[in-house]
Amino acid sequence: MPAPTPSSPHQAVSLPKLRTEGLSTGYDVRPDATPLFADLNLTLYAGQLVCFMGPNGVGKSTLIRTLAGLRQPLSGRVTIVPPTGTASVSIPQSIALVLTQRLSATHMTGYELIAYGRYPYLDWRVTLREEDKRIIDKAIKAVNIKHLAHKKVYELSDGQLQLVLIAKALAQDTPIILLDEPTAHLDLNNRVEIMRLLQRLAHDTGKAILIATHELDLALQMADYIWLAGHNQNIITGIPEDLVLDGTFDRIFQFKGFDLRTGKVQHHPHRDVLIAVKGEGHEYRWTCSALERSGFIVSDVGSAHRIEVHTAPTLYWTIDGDKTFTTLEPVLLQLSEQD
């Protein structure tokens, strides 16, 4: 795959960190096995956050594990690009992997779990050196989890545990980090926090970070690049906006009642009443959303009523320049009664 056309400062200076050449992956390594993905030629670049997306069961986790060396390819190869002047590199010192399975050793502290990231660098005595401790402390600071370091793992929430596991990956001090569904089972705040953290780490540290994720809305806003699993054992790549505008996301996911261009659920206008709305900002957008959810059609042409959204001196609404309301609920009730 050729290097992406520079569309951001990070892409413009990116160096390849991992390549696949004719890679085929699957559950079974027999020569006659049917691959999940076939003949993949992909590249991960330094300083990029890449979101790997696709329908359930398409094989995202299998590919992540193949890239990390945990699964044998059916054919082709995965190449880790060594730093300039280095002949070769080992996988543990090149790729940090964050998986979603639950931990069994829950009585260790967060610090002890993070310290496991240094094990590829330790000798037979398995004793942390001052340099290892410095790197661990740096990882804890980067993820801002000093308050979690001495908590037992069983005391951590799912979101806190994900932060600790990301710090462990940072402590491993690799140029590549692969994560499989790091936001699974998390609430919105934690999902946003994890994605923002990974974006910042990619941009600030120059690491190549690949996430297998279902977070479509967050990926579209935060990923530098998308790997999108297609229907023909292939992966389509590009920046999020291009894959939205050329219809690739719609073809792959076949959205049912969701408009990707607006990021909104498509509502059925069961009232068949046109309402004109005047305003601006998020107050205007939420007013239109409330009307559409309630079955009205927002349109300036042929409208039966006109709503104005006022934001000064306080937020309020008027209907047809007459009735005034300080919340949206009575606006909807008034329009419903006139329907």
Least confident residue range of 94-108, 174-188, 227-241, 308-322: 94-108
- Are 307 and 331 contacting, i.e. CB atoms less than 8 angstroms apart? yes
Lowest mean pLDDT among 34-43, 47-56, 250-259: 250-259
What is the structure's pLDDT at 7? 42
DSSP 148: G
- List of residues 6+ apart from 131 with CB closer than 8 A: none
How deeply is 260 buried, as exposed, middle or buried, from its count of CB atoms within 10 A (0-12, 13-18, 19+)? middle
Q: What is the CA radius of gyration of the chain?
A: 25
Nearest to 203 by CA among 218, 224, 221: 224
Average pLDDT over residues 126-145: 94
Distance from C-alpha of 11 to C-alpha of 156, rounded to nearest angstrom:
36
d(CA 36, CA 230): 11
Please provide the DSSP assignment of 46-64 as one string: TT-EEEEE-STTSSHHHHH
Q: How far apart are the first and last CA of the chain?
A: 57
Alpha helices for 173-215 (secondary structure H): 188-205
Answer whether residue 264 shows pLDDT above 80: no
Question: pLDDT class for 256, splitting at 50, 70, 90?
Answer: confident
- Prior bond to 31 cis, omega within 30? no
DSSP string, 76-133: EEEEE-PPTT-S---STTTEEEE--SPPS-TTSBHHHHHHGGGGGG--TT----HHHH
The token pair that represents 36 in the structure block:
């999940």
Q: Residue 85 — very low, low, confident or very high, per pLDDT cuts 50/70/90?
A: low
Is the pLDDT at 337 greater than 60? The verdict is yes
pLDDT 10s digits, 121-131: 888 778 899 99
d(CA 229, CA 249): 10
Percent of the chain whose predicted confidence (pLDDT) is above 70: 94
Tell which residue, 57, 58, 76, has the closest CA to residue 66.
76
Give which of 34, 41, 28, 52 is closest to 76, Cα–Cα.
41
Other CB atoms within 10 Å distance of the CB of residue 15 = 14
What DSSP string runs through 266-335?
Answer: PPP-TT--EEEEE--HHHHHHHHHHHHHTT-EE-SSS-SEEEEEE-SSS-EEEETTTEEESSHHHHHHHH
> What number is the average pLDDT over the span 282-299?
94
Residues 276, 12: Cα–Cα separation, whole Å: 45
Mean pLDDT, residues 308-329 taken together: 94
Q: What DSSP character marks residue 36?
A: S
State the amino acid at position 287 in one-letter form: T
10 Å Cβ neighbour count for 11? 18
Tell me what the pLDDT averaged over the chain comes to: 89
- Contact yes or no for 294/336 (Cβ under 8 A): yes
